[in-house]
Amino acid sequence: MARTTTTSAASEIRRSGWHTIRSVAPYLWPEDQPWVKRRVVLAMVALVLAKVVSVSTPAIYKAAVDRLGGDDPSTGMLLALTAVGLTVAYGVARLMTVGFGELRDALFVRVAQRALRKLALETFTHIHRLSMRFHITRKTGGLSRVIERGVKGVEFLLRFMLFSVGPLILELTMVAIIFWAVFGFWYMAAVVVTISAYVTFTFKVTEWRVQIRRQMNAQDTDANQKAIDSLLNFETVKYFGAERREAERYDAAMAGYEKAAVLTGYSLSFLNFGQSLLITAGLVTVMVMAAMGVQAGTLTVGDFVMVNAYMIQITMPLNFLGTVYREIRQALVDMGEMFELLSQPAEVTDKPGAPDLAVRGGEVELDNVSFGYDANRPILKGVSLKVGAGQSVAIVGPSGSGKSTIGRLLFRFYDVTGGALRIDGQDLRDITQDSLHAQIGVVPQDTVLFNDTVGYNIAYGRPDARPEEIVAAARAAKIHDFIMSLPEGYETKVGERGLKLSGGEKQRVGIARTILKDPPILLLDEATSALDTQTERDIQESLKAMGEGRTVITIAHRLSTIADADRIVVLENGRIVEEGRHEELLAHRGRYAKMWARQSAEEEETEGAPRLVSVIGGTEAEEITDLPKDGKWRWTPRG
C-alpha cells in the first residue's frame, strides 16, 4: 500500500513538473516578439556546434598520439597534419568548444532575464490583484520566500535544463554512436548500460532526496515567517519581555530544518558514492576492453587514449547529473508553488468592458446591503443608507456591528452578497476598480507609511504632484512646520511602517496625502481613535477642513468627534437601529444617548484624575493620567 502511495506521489510530481515547464514555455517563445525566438534559435545552433566540436576533440587527440607513436592509420584531413599541428588543432578544438558555449550564453542571457523580469512582474501584479481576504490570511515572510524561490527556480531551470541536460543527452548519444561505428557494438553496449544504470540510480535516489528537500522548504518558510512576524512586532515583543519566547519559537522551527538538512547530507553522501561506483565500473570495463584490443593488435594506442578521453568526457557532466537533476526537481517544486500562487483567482474583478466611475456629486447609497466574510456568519443584514452629495454622515456602533465592513465594501475590497452599493446611481460592481479607488480618499485608524521619505509618502496620494503642491497639502494637514524642523526636511526617512514618527505625525502625513489626492468622496475609518485626546482634537480640525465640499463618511469610535455631522447612523448587529442629528438622537434617549453618556463619563473621569510627574536626573518626565484617587500615590509636583 505504501509503495502504491509513493508511486502515485511520484507520478503526480512528474505531471506537475511537466505542467510547470509548459507554463514557462510561453515566456521563452512569445508570439509577439520575434527577436526572442531568433535568439533562442541562434543559442541552440551555438549549443549544437559546441557539442559537435567537443565530440570531435578526442579523435584529434588520438591522431596526435598515433602520429607520435609511429602507428598512423589517419585518413583525410588529419593526414596532412604533423604531430605538432594535431596538437595545435586539439587546442583550437577545445577553445572552440568553450567559445561556442559562451556565445550560446551571451545570446540567451537577454532572453532569460526578460522572462524572469516578466514573470516576476506578473506575480507581483497578481498578488496586488488578490482579494483582501487573501491578504488578511497571508503570511508575509512565507509569501516572499515563495516568490523568491520561484523566480530563482525559473532561472535555474532555463540555465541548466536547456544548457546542461539537453547538451548532455546530445553528447551521450553522439558518443554512443561513435563507439558503435569505430569500436563495435559491445563498446556501445557497455557505455549505454553504464549510463542507464547511473541515470536510473541517480533519479531514484534524487526523488527520495526531493521529498526531504520539501520538508526543508516547509521548515525554512516557517522559520522565516516567524522571524519576520517577530521583527514586524518588535515593540510588542519588548512590551511583554518575550525575546526569549520568540527565540524559542524560531529555534523550534530551525530545529526541524536542521533535522531535514542532516538527512539531506547523509543521502547526498550515499548518492555520490553510488554514482562513483557505477561510473568507475563502466570506465574500467571499457578501458579493459580497449587494452585487450591493443594487445591483440586490433586497436592502436591512440584508440586506447580516445576511448579513455571519451569516457572521461562523459563522466564529468554525469558527475553533476545528480545535483542538476535534484536542483531541477527542486526548481520545479519552487516554480510550482509560484504558479499555484498565480492561479489563485482574484475574488473581486472588473466586468468585461466595464466603464469608469463618473462622479457627478458624490452621492453614496447602500440599498438593502447584506454581506458576511463567512457565509455562515452574516455581518450586514439588509442595510439601507443614502449619503447625499457633499453631506457628512457618521456611522457608530459597538465593535462587530459592521462599521468598518461598510468602508471595505465602499472601496470594493469585497463585493456585497445581497443588495447593491451605488455612487451617483452606478453600481460598484459595474464600474472599474481603478476609477473607483481614484475617487475615494481614505484616512484609516493606523496610517502605515512606506520606508521612504516624508515627501515620498505625501506624494503617494498623487505621484505626479509638483513640490509646491506637496508642501501645500502638508500645510493644510498642519504638518509642514514639523517636517521643516526635521534635519532633512521632506527628505527625512520615516522608517519601516513609519515607526520613526509618532501616531499623530503619521496621521497627519496620511491626511496630507489624502488632501493631495483631492477625492470627491472621503472615508474616515476611525481616523483618530488610536490617538490621545489633545492630538485627536488637533487632527480633527484638519479632518474637518479636508471634508469641506466633499461627501464624507466617518466611521467613529469616539462620539465627540462626530457631534457636528449632518447625520449619525447607529449600527447594531448589522442593522441600522437609529439615525438622525446629534441633538435629535440625544433627545430620543436611545442607544446613541446611552453611548454618549457612557463615553462622557469616562472622559470626565480621565480628565479629573490626578497627574503624576516624576523627576529623573533633574528632568521632568511626561505627565501620566488615569492614576488612583485614593491619595496613596506619591509624586513630585511640577515646579
The sign of the dihedral angle between the CA atoms of 88, 89, 91, 96 is positive
157: cell is 531551470
Q: What is the pLDDT of residue 83?
A: 65
CA distance 64 to 111: 41
CA distance 310 to 59: 9
Taking CA atoms, 18 is separated from 21, 48, 163, 609, in Å, by: 5, 24, 18, 71
Q: What is the pLDDT of residue 635?
A: 36
Listed residue (451, 346, 402) closest to 129, CA to CA: 346
Q: What DSSP element (H or E) covers 570?
A: strand 567-572
CATH 3.40.50.300 fits 364-608, yes or no: yes
CATH assignment, 24-342: 1.20.1560.10
429: cell is 460592481
Name residues whose C-beta falls within 8 Å of residue 527's C-beta, 6 or more positions apart in sequence: 443, 444, 445, 507, 510, 511, 539, 543, 554
Q: What is the pLDDT of residue 632?
A: 36
> Range(s) for CATH 3.40.50.300 in the chain?
364-608
Listed residue (463, 490, 464, 487) closest to 475, CA to CA: 490
CA distance 40 to 248: 50
558: cell is 469616539
CA distance 389 to 549: 9
- Burial of 502 per CB tally in 10 Å (0-12, 13-18, 19+): middle
CA distance 294 to 54: 25
> Range(s) for CATH 1.20.1560.10 in the chain?
24-342
Q: What is the pLDDT of residue 607?
A: 55
pLDDT in tens, 576-588: 999 999 999 999 8
Residue count of the chain, please give it: 639
Q: Which residue has the cell 530544518?
A: 257
Q: What DSSP element (H or E) covers 420?
A: strand 418-423
Query: What is 428-492 written as a DSSP string?
Result: GGGS-HHHHHHHEEEE-SS----SSBHHHHHHTT-TT--HHHHHHHHHHTT-HHHHHHSTTGGG-
Question: Would you put residue 573 in left (φ > 0), alpha (ψ -120 to 50) or beta?
Answer: left
The sign of the dihedral angle between the CA atoms of 230, 231, 235, 237 is positive
CA distance 572 to 540: 25
161: cell is 535544463
* Amino acid residing at 235: E
Q: What DSSP element (H or E) covers 567?
A: strand 567-572
Whole-model pTM: value is: 0.60
Q: What is the pLDDT of residue 622?
A: 36
CB atoms within 10 A of CB 242: 15
CB atoms within 10 A of CB 214: 15
Segments of the chain with pLDDT less than 50: 1-15, 75-80, 609-639
